[in-house]
Amino acid sequence: MTGKLALATALIGALALSACNTVEGAGKDLKSAGSAVESASGQKGK
């Protein structure tokens, strides 16, 4: 029983860490896209 609990905890931890990396990457992509739109609109720095 303890082995199953440890395995479940490890799997949940691994999924949580990989989700954080995925969300961080998505945030960077959105920021990059926003910067591109801002530059194209000529509104940068205003």
| Spatial contact of 18 and 24, defined as CB atoms under 8 Å apart | no
23-42 pLDDT per residue, tens: 778 888 888 888 888 888 87
Q: What's the pLDDT band for 43 if we cut at 50, 70, 90? A: low
Provide the pLDDT confidence category of residue 44 given band limits of 50, 70 and 90: low
Q: Structure tokens of 41? A: 């609109």
Average pLDDT over residues 5-13: 88
Mean pLDDT over residues 6-17, rounded?
Answer: 86
- The CA-based angle 30-36-39, given to 5 degrees, is 140
Residue 10 and residue 4 in contact, taking contact as beta carbons nearer than 8 Å: no
In the prediction, which pLDDT does 17 show? Answer: 77
Q: How far apart are CA 14 and CA 8, in angstroms?
A: 10
